Chain A
Amino acid sequence: MKLPDELLTIAVTGLNAIDSPGPGIAVIRSLREGLQRPLRIIGLAYETLEPGIYMHEVVDKTYQIPYPAAGTQALLNRLAYIHGKEKIDLLIPNFDAELPNFMKLAPVLQSMGIASFLPDTDMFEARDKVNLYSFGKQHDLLVPRDRIIHQVSGLHECGELFGYPLVVKGKFYDAVVAYTAEQAEKAFYKISAKWGLPIIVQEFINGTEVNIAVLGDGKGNMISAIPMRKLYITDKGKAWSGITLQDDKLLELAASFVKATRWKGGCELEIMRTAKDECYIMEINPRFPAWIYLTAAAGQNQPAALARMALGEVVKPFTGYEAGKIFVRYSWDHITDVNAFHQISGQGEL
Chain B
Amino acid sequence: MKALSTQGQTGQGARRLGKKKSFMRLAYEQRQLLVLCIPFLLFVLVFNYLPVVGWTMAFQNFSPAKGIFGSDFVGMANFVEAFNDTNFLNAIRNTLSTSFLKIIFSFFSAILLAVMLNEVRIIAFKRTVQTISYLPYFVSWVVASNIVYMVLSPSDGIINILLMKMGLISEGVPFMGEPKYFYMIIALSNVWKNVGWNAIIYLSAMTGIDQELYEAAAVDGAGRIRRILAVTIPCIMPTIKIMLVLQIGHLMNAGFEHVYLLSNPSNISASRTIDVYVYTYAMKGGRLSYGTAIGIFNSTVSIALIMISNWVSKKIDGYGIF
A binds B: no
B: residues with CB less than 8 A from A are: none
